[in-house]
Structure 1
Amino acid sequence: MALDTATTREALLSVRDLTVAAEGGRVVLDRISFELKPRQILSVIGESGSGKTVLARALASWLSAPLHITGGEVLFEGRDLVSDPAHARSLAGREIAYVGGNPAGALDPTMTVGAQLVEKLRAVRPDIPAAQAREKAVRLLEAVKIPSAERRFHEYPFQYSGGMMQRAMIVDALISDPALLIADNITQPLDVTVAAQILKLMRELNENFSTAVLFICSSLPVACDAADEVMVLHAGRVVERQTPNALVVQPGHGYTRGLIEELPTLWEGGPEGRDTRQDREQAAIMSVRGVAKHYETRGKSGKALVQAVRNVEFDVFPGDNFGIVGESGCGKSSLMRLLTGLERPDAGSIFFENENVGEASPRRLRELRRRFQLVLQDPYGSLPPQSSIGSIVEEPLKIHRLGSRAKRRERARAALSEVGLADSLYDSLPTGLSAGQRQRLNVARAMVLEPRLLIMDETLSALDQTEQGKLLDLFERLQAQHGFTYIFISHDLTMVRRVCSRIAVMYLGETVEVAPNERLFFDPGHPYSRALLSAAPTLEERRYRPEDCLLEGEPPSPIDLPPGCAFAGRCPHAFDRCRRENPALRSRGGQALAACFLNDETPEEDRDE
């Protein structure tokens, strides 16, 4: 790709024919060329393996063996970083900052967030006094809209939510006033409302601090929302670069058209095209009634209770694909531990096939787990690296003492085949598998027992949209073949829209809405549900405008809940009653429930003027 000479002179970053190869000569990036101007945001989109993260690390001088640059130039402010690696290293963390997509593991858990920000700034600017560094850190924490920044400065990483941690990492990158920020999949692990806030924040910082941003992304709608231009990578090559609107309206490359065509939709096609499975004559396979879970924590003022799950109620029927959605910290994963019997509820009941999971003995619970299985989020941490792929799939059969050794091997091989993994992998270790293949292995491990209920906790959130689509196709095929039911816990509303027949929305530990798929997406009964839908990344025309619905700030603390509705402080429609009483789930007709007084015949005099 040729570069215009005048444009190159204006560019902060000019990449010319950058080539990166692995040992043995395998090319990972093939003659990449582009430029980035000050205050410009450029999104880089592509499926897993396209070279996005390799590009980010090459520009940040973080490439490590077996990868190395074999050709081309990286001109930063006119000076080539490839031919001058010492200069490149001197810029890393100062003029060129990098933010990754795993904020939880990026900070030292034994130090306060503020202390680490000050340490970072004084490492790159030792001339700045500690007091001045502290003032700047607090000011940036306020700039990224972390509430009570002065107090949060003194807190530890574990006290931050996922969205707050990602903002803190942006502060960590910006504290040295870099000219270029490389953001590598920073929104992928976040729920839709927090991700939307991060994108809005990134644009504000781009304008206020004149920072150029290279935004690496796995979601095409997010890439288009974030950037001035979008660059498409495929198999290590740039295949297209356009403005977001031009890219969507008239994509110039077949690969880009494929990315657009495979995107699940939220509203296109109308509600009549979806299966809501409204026949409820069968008894529920799982019933959740008034479930609550509290965790004790110790703070400066003594012991306190974190109300992680409160008043949760729903039914899951045979053949259902039941979705559970909500912001980070809403209680989804805590609820998952209760549904699977990993923990017992403090109040309420969870019935699986009419047996109370919370009251089952350890022996009986193990027997029940033959009929319900869990597939976790992390495709890397959920698999033992020292065990062979075959033994991982066989392990549940061994635990439940099912079949002979030959029968177990036969069933495990069949399970691997069902999820699309080659039989030749049976005796191999999982270390060489991609993230998508690892999740297929996790599904095989769960399916080998032929469960009646599958519980999936953010199972697809770590994958790009292409791999997500392949796994969703796999779930549909396996469900048609085996007739199991599944609970799909996710922050990705486009996936929930595609696969779930009914959906529960959680906010701060409570279920605030339960509705059939179409009813939730076309006629939500709770303002929080509309906020989630307004923030969902999509290329479609939105039914709900972010400026009308999108939430700012953080939910209240689950340790110190306000009186009345916990959502009232963030709700644009709250009135006096909302601040006095906590609404219960009530019928809206047509199997839809919502916990909101706006659905009642509320007297006008009880509403705010």
Structure 2
Amino acid sequence: MALDNLRTAEALLSVRDLTVKAETDGTSRTILDGISFDLNPRQILSVIGESGSGKTVLARTLASWLPPPLRVTGGSVHFRGEDLIADPKFAKSLSGREIAYIGGNPAGALDPTMIVGAQLVEKLRAVRPDISKSDAHDKAIALLGAVKIPAPERRFHEYPFQYSGGMMQRAMIVDALISDPALLIADNITQPLDVTVAAQILKLMRELNSEFSTAILFICSSLPVACEAADEVMVLHEGKVVERQVPGELIARPQHAYTKDLIRELPTLWAEGKSEEAAPATRKQQAIMSVHGVAKHYETHGKSGRALVQAVRNVEFDVFPGDNFGIVGESGCGKSSLMRLLTGLERPDAGTIHFKGENVGQATPKRLRQLRRKFQLVLQDPYGSLPPQSSIGSILEEPLIIHKIGNRAERRERARAIMAEVGLPNNIYDRLPTGLSAGQRQRLNVGRAMILEPELLIMDETLSALDQTEQAKLLELFQRLQEEHGFTYIFISHDLTMVRQVCSRIAVMYLGETVEVAPNERLFFDPGHPYSRALLSAAPTLEKRRYSPEDCLLEGEPPSPIDLPKGCAFANRCPHAFDRCRMENPSLVLRGDHALAACFLND
């Protein structure tokens, strides 16, 4: 749709020439430059653009939540005919009531000391003082059910830490919808989620849009997700609207060069294959890391007494030198718990983890510190994983100091060399990381891990917080570093498109177990487990899907890791389950060509 043909009839929200600037120390930088669009009732409009394009600033401006030094310097925002920019007091009165906002960090949005239901009731009674506590309670439970949280009456009384990532995001949708808003602003709400939960959230959003007549502004960093979610897609680039079309037209006939670049740079799942013969697993080598029968449980205490959370169980795989080994699965499947075991941060309760033949779980603290020179971890959060009060140079030098490597001059020289390798400018050595972008912060994290010249890098959701463009740049960096230094990588991720691009072999985890281990090509074209097919059916892509979401997409939550079923843990969600599945738990069996799957269907 051409920008000069924006619809104005029945517009709930009408934005005209909106300009926002960042003004600091006498300098001014334009963040949003003349933004104009309309949003009608019951319409879903996706806003897509790379990091720094102004998406989140737009969302916060419309929600009357624009922090200094950002300031609106021009234009208007009319909501039901009233100008929110001209009347900030009126705009504030709408925020959280008529205009609701959901961010992409649900874990940090609720008070961890209060049960979820009490917080929802408190929010509703704050915006609707006329409603009784009993009615607010009933409405909160009804909405928890509407967003498909299982057993809403019980979940009402649980604390945020007892919710999975997907359930937390649904709870935040309830928090936003509980005041019956006319406009919902969803800011990157699916980016931190795994593919099956994200697909459920998108489906849920459409249902709520239809049922509650709520207009939705959906801020997104993934073009496939943006197209799947919305009636129309608006493309932001360098603070300007460069294109707006319905998804089909946008993909078939993009008008702007930036949109064409976004489409061209999209990674594929099935259009291009990787050769199985190229996978290091097919060659006779000694594994650099071997994981066999690993299990980890955590003890919890509640009103019902002591209970064991079986976070990791029966995990089996080998990682070979030069391998790019992927680990994928839903939130709560045990990926992060496994990461802590692989890196020696915790010890397994059962099974063994060998690094170059040495048992990591039995290593003394001194020996474990020595081993960590050879395997390093790069975490997900580009903001929380860096000390904000330390300079970039001191962050890079710290591992060398801990391991007593080199003198001061040698450490500085090594740190500057690493900065050049990971693509950080030399002139920021003495600066704090505060001003770095998310992509630059992750480059710094990679540099901090690389400086010890490890043989194995463990990447725990390292790219999940970045947009498509930054992910592509970091993947290119990883490929170049691996060619130059011969690292072995373990990629822990929920992003199947990233795993498809870079991993030679992939392990699929479900409820703490490895249910499939296969070469890249085999997993994507011939998966051996129904759960793997469900993951592939939910992966965001513009390609024609090989696996239908209608046939494969999962509903509901996995069983509780505290109360595991007798048979296969996937049986209650599997469309192919039969009696044996509910009585026996299948083990990994060979499917040929170095592929393993734990499913009786392979018998």
Q: Structure 2: how far apart are the matches of 1:423 and 1:383? A: 18
Q: Which residue does 1:8 correspond to in 2?
A: 8
Q: What is the CA distance between 1:344 and its match in structure 2?
A: 0.2
Q: Which residue does 1:20 correspond to in 2?
A: 20
Please say if 1:579 is aligned against 2:555.
no
Q: What is the CA distance between 1:261 and its match in structure 2?
A: 1.1
Q: Which residue does 1:136 correspond to in 2?
A: 139
Partner SS for 2:16? strand
Matches within 5 A, 1:31-50: 31-50=34-53
The superposition leaves residues 88-127 of structure 1 with CA deviations (integer Å, 9 ceiling, x where unpaired) of 1111111100000000000111111111111111111100
Q: Structure 2: how far apart are the matches of 1:332 and 1:428? A: 34
TM-score by length of 2: 0.98
Q: Which residue does 1:376 correspond to in 2?
A: 379
Kept after mapping to 1: 8 A contact 2:276/2:519: no
Q: Structure 1: how far apart are the matches of 2:14 and 2:4? A: 9
Which deviates more from structure 2 when the two are superposed, residues 330-339 or residues 62-71?
Answer: 62-71
Q: Structure 2: how far apart are the matches of 1:319 and 1:52? A: 38
Q: Structure 2: how far apart are the matches of 1:451 and 1:273? A: 26
Question: What amino acid sits opposite 2:332 in the alignment?
Answer: G
Q: Which residue does 1:569 correspond to in 2?
A: 572
Q: What is the CA distance between 1:22 and its match in structure 2?
A: 1.1
The superposition leaves residues 412-468 of structure 1 with CA deviations (integer Å, 9 ceiling, x where unpaired) of 111111000011111111111111000000000000011000000000011011000
Please, which of 330, 342, 345 is the counterpart of residue 342 of structure 1? 345
Matches within 5 A, 1:66-465: 66-270=69-273, 272=275, 275-465=278-468
Question: What amino acid sits opposite 2:158 in the alignment?
Answer: E
Please, which of 502, 505, 511 is the counterpart of residue 502 of structure 1? 505
Partner SS for 1:8? coil
Q: Structure 2: how far apart are the matches of 1:274 and 1:147? A: 44
Kept after mapping to 2: 8 A contact 1:95/1:177: yes
Moved over 3 A (4+): 1-5, 270-275
Q: What is the CA distance between 1:9 and its match in structure 2?
A: 3.2
Q: Structure 2: how far apart are the matches of 1:278 and 1:171? A: 46
Partner SS for 2:199? helix
Q: Which residue does 1:543 correspond to in 2?
A: 546
Q: Structure 1: how far apart are the matches of 2:217 and 2:562? A: 38
Kept after mapping to 1: 8 A contact 2:281/2:505: no
Q: What is the CA distance between 1:272 and its match in structure 2?
A: 4.7
The superposition leaves residues 467-517 of structure 1 with CA deviations (integer Å, 9 ceiling, x where unpaired) of 000000000000000001010000000000000000000000000000000
Q: What is the CA distance between 1:274 and its match in structure 2?
A: 8.8
Please say if 1:478 is aligned against 2:481.
yes
| Cα distance change, pair 488–2 in 1 and its aligned pair in 2 (3 A) | closer
Q: What is the CA distance between 1:4 and its match in structure 2?
A: 5.2
Partner SS for 2:282? coil
Question: What amino acid sits opposite 2:92 in the alignment?
Answer: R
Kept after mapping to 2: 8 A contact 1:17/1:30: yes
Q: Which residue does 1:607 correspond to in 2?
A: none
Q: Structure 2: how far apart are the matches of 1:77 and 1:156? A: 37
Partner SS for 2:596? strand
Q: State, as a whole percentage, how many aligned pairs show the same letter.
A: 80
Q: What is the CA distance between 1:250 and its match in structure 2?
A: 1.0
| Cα distance change, pair 330–439 in 1 and its aligned pair in 2 (3 A) | same
Q: Structure 2: how far apart are the matches of 1:515 and 1:61? A: 49
Q: Name the Cα RMSD after superposition.
A: 1.1
| Cα distance change, pair 222–273 in 1 and its aligned pair in 2 (3 A) | farther
The superposition leaves residues 33-68 of structure 1 with CA deviations (integer Å, 9 ceiling, x where unpaired) of 000110000000000000000000000000121011
Q: Structure 2: how far apart are the matches of 1:87 and 1:476? A: 52
Partner SS for 1:9? coil
Partner SS for 2:307? strand
Q: Structure 2: how far apart are the matches of 1:559 and 1:596? A: 22
Q: What is the CA distance between 1:170 and its match in structure 2?
A: 0.2
Q: Which residue does 1:595 correspond to in 2?
A: 598
Kept after mapping to 2: 8 A contact 1:3/1:34: no
Partner SS for 2:376? strand
TM-score by length of 1: 0.97
Q: Structure 2: how far apart are the matches of 1:67 and 1:301? A: 50
Q: Structure 2: how far apart are the matches of 1:316 and 1:291? A: 15
Q: What is the CA distance between 1:25 and its match in structure 2?
A: 2.5
Q: Structure 2: how far apart are the matches of 1:506 and 1:65? A: 43
Question: What amino acid sits opposite 1:18 in the alignment?
Answer: L
Q: What is the CA distance between 1:84 and its match in structure 2?
A: 1.1
Q: Structure 1: how far apart are the matches of 2:276 and 2:63? A: 47
Q: Which residue does 2:519 correspond to in 1?
A: 516
| Cα distance change, pair 444–398 in 1 and its aligned pair in 2 (3 A) | same
Question: What amino acid sits opposite 2:20 in the alignment?
Answer: V
Question: What amino acid sits opposite 2:455 in the alignment?
Answer: R
Q: Structure 2: how far apart are the matches of 1:368 and 1:277? A: 23
Q: Structure 1: how far apart are the matches of 2:312 and 2:570? A: 15
Q: What is the CA distance between 1:149 and its match in structure 2?
A: 0.2
The superposition leaves residues 230-287 of structure 1 with CA deviations (integer Å, 9 ceiling, x where unpaired) of 0000000000000111111111011011111111110003455994334321100000
Please say if 1:56 is aligned against 2:59.
yes
Question: What amino acid sits opposite 1:79 in the alignment?
Answer: E
Q: Which runs of 5+ in 2 are unaligned?
A: none
Kept after mapping to 2: 8 A contact 1:97/1:173: yes
Question: What amino acid sits opposite 2:293 in the alignment?
Answer: G
The superposition leaves residues 342-378 of structure 1 with CA deviations (integer Å, 9 ceiling, x where unpaired) of 0000000000000000000000000000100000001
Q: What is the CA distance between 1:2 and its match in structure 2?
A: 5.9
Kept after mapping to 2: 8 A contact 1:276/1:518: no
Q: Structure 2: how far apart are the matches of 1:2 and 1:355? A: 63
Partner SS for 2:136? helix
Q: How many residues align?
A: 599
Partner SS for 1:117? helix
Question: What amino acid sits opposite 1:514 in the alignment?
Answer: V
| Cα distance change, pair 275–37 in 1 and its aligned pair in 2 (3 A) | farther
Partner SS for 2:361? helix
Kept after mapping to 2: 8 A contact 1:373/1:454: yes
Question: What amino acid sits opposite 2:308 in the alignment?
Answer: L
Q: Structure 1: how far apart are the matches of 2:366 and 2:275? A: 46
Q: Structure 2: how far apart are the matches of 1:492 and 1:72? A: 38
Q: Which runs of 5+ in 1 are unaligned?
A: 601-609
Question: What amino acid sits opposite 1:11 in the alignment?
Answer: A
